[in-house]
Chain A
């Protein structure tokens, strides 16, 4: 279980560019939750993920992961239990290294001086075959030769290879073409459901925010302004969501990208 208590994060404090990205933000995520996160640009969605993953240490508040206070833990330590995908498909993989070398680093088995074994290779092929992208035949090719969609699918495999406590998806299909985005989204759904991974997903697509997962939170100016799950969420439509935003934020949602993809 993930618990965020009264998190505040201010960037460039004391300068004209001061920006409060998260303000007294609290959130409780139960095991097995699949939460979709929506909100306009600058609402604090990415900062929220950065705080969970350890990129930013919050100015105030605490983050409890599985009853352990991880607020000050460096990001690479937290990465043991947190999987993460970014919008940029290039961020999750090392382009100059081969597919199997990337997978091997993510798998992290065998100790510092261990190298890729036959069993590892079989396991990697087993992971990649269901993608239907033919990656299992290209294990010794550099990842830099793959398309954005293939790299993102590979990153997804790497992030979920050892089941994470939390999977953070930061608009991970936004930079892909619509057909590829759909494939990657479908894959995500399958893996998250199959392994029962607790997951938070930022999306600008209002429809998929409602279609996917069991809970949706709407953010504005560093706060949760609407949190919906269960029966109330089932009947919800995109226009309902837009109205909720207007009600809660006191202004219409003026995000072109969001309106376009409703």
Chain B
């Protein structure tokens, strides 16, 4: 492998890693803080990509960003409402919303399952044009993704230390305690899911504009990939202030992309991405459990072999 190809692998991994790290930060909020595994993530990611692409197609690449975030918020609000006010289990609520979003997304994309932005102005093409001739000309993707991630990480670092942020963290930790602090856990769950899903949709919106296309499958498997990234990130940064843990989630997303890119170099077919992410999630979640079970298993095996 020559230096140039290593450089291009790194750049692509960084770009895609940073863009998808926004979804990882969404799960950092909903899964790690709120304790809700939000399975509407895939659909919400596509919703963000589809909405962003349609608005960009209409000639408003900047408006695409708040528009995508707003529809993400709505999706998160519905997922939250189902699980807090309508008695639907949180996993099921996510799956139901995810299924419903499939139709919504096709409708958003004008009854099509693919939108092409090749000839459309996107925020990436705009920055590319304005950087033309400078040293940073090829770094336009990196700059935008980095700016978005920085903003979200800084926001989370501050927000999770406010009273509302503390209440959201406590909701996943001990809802009884939230209630005894005179805060309604329904409210904190809703706010948490609304914010998280706005990040997921932002992530989808940026990926759509970056790739110059959005299709109905763009978000498929995102929840598992993001979860894998989140768990990889926890390996790197386990303790420390909340802002640092958010940085850990971003590192996890980038490391995941680098590992994936290297695997592709070694001739792993691209379609294996989702299987790999599944296996990472399985290992990361079952690992600590199995480690705890090991002594008992060893004793059983020793006992059985003595018996014979």
Listed in ascending order, the chain A residues whose CB lies under 8 Å from chain B are 74-77, 79-80, 83-84, 90-97, 101-102, 104-106, 108, 110-116, 158-159
Least CB distance from B85 to A in Å reads 13
- A84, B180: Cα distance in complex, Å: 8
Closest B residue to A83 by beta carbon equals: B180
- A112, B164: Cα distance in complex, Å: 5
Least CB distance from A193 to B in Å reads 23
- A79, B185: Cα distance in complex, Å: 13
User: Could you write out 27 A-B pairs with CB less than 8 Å apart?
Assistant: A76-B179, A76-B182, A79-B179, A91-B174, A92-B176, A93-B174, A94-B174, A94-B178, A95-B174, A96-B173, A97-B169, A97-B170, A97-B173, A104-B163, A105-B167, A105-B183, A106-B180, A108-B163, A108-B181, A110-B163, A112-B163, A113-B163, A113-B164, A114-B163, A115-B158, A115-B161, A115-B163
- A101, B164: Cα distance in complex, Å: 11
- A113, B181: Cα distance in complex, Å: 16
Question: Counting chain A CB atoms within 10 Å of each CB, which of B169, B182, B183 scores highest?
Answer: B182
**Is the C-beta of B244 less than 8 angstroms from some C-beta in chain A?**
no
Count of chain A to chain B residue pairs whose CB atoms are closer than 8 Å in the complex: 78
- A112, B162: Cα distance in complex, Å: 7
Whether B162 lies near A159 (C-beta < 8 A) is: no
**Is the C-beta of B107 less than 8 angstroms from some C-beta in chain A?**
no
- Ranked 4 nearest A-B pairs via Cβ: A94-B173, A94-B170, A112-B164, A76-B179
Q: Number of B residues contacting the other chain (C-beta, 8 Å)?
A: 22
Whether A106 lies near B181 (C-beta < 8 A) is: yes
Interface residues in B146-174 (C-beta closer than 8 Å to A): 158, 161-164, 166-167, 169-170, 172-174
Known contacts A75-B179, A79-B181, A106-B181; A95/B173 CB under 8 A: yes
Which one, A104, A111, A158, contacts B166 given CB within 8 A? Answer: A104
Closest A residue to B176 by beta carbon equals: A91
- A108, B173: Cα distance in complex, Å: 18
Whether A113 lies near B166 (C-beta < 8 A) is: no
Which one, A74, A90, A101, contacts B184 given CB within 8 A? Answer: A74
Question: Counting chain A CB atoms within 10 Å of each CB, which of B163, B172, B178, B180 scores highest?
Answer: B180
A80 contacts which chain B residues (CB < 8 A)? 182
- A255, B259: Cα distance in complex, Å: 63
Least CB distance from A153 to B in Å reads 15
- A84, B172: Cα distance in complex, Å: 20
Which one, A75, A92, A115, A116, contacts B177 given CB within 8 A? Answer: A92
Least CB distance from B162 to A in Å reads 5
Least CB distance from A81 to B in Å reads 9
Whether A111 lies near B163 (C-beta < 8 A) is: yes
Whether A77 lies near B182 (C-beta < 8 A) is: yes
- A116, B165: Cα distance in complex, Å: 12
Closest B residue to A93 by beta carbon equals: B177
- A79, B175: Cα distance in complex, Å: 13
Least CB distance from B244 to A in Å reads 13
B158 contacts which chain A residues (CB < 8 A)? 115
Whether A105 lies near B179 (C-beta < 8 A) is: no
A112 contacts which chain B residues (CB < 8 A)? 162-164
Which one, B166, B176, B185, contacts A105 given CB within 8 A? Answer: B166
Least CB distance from A29 to B in Å reads 20
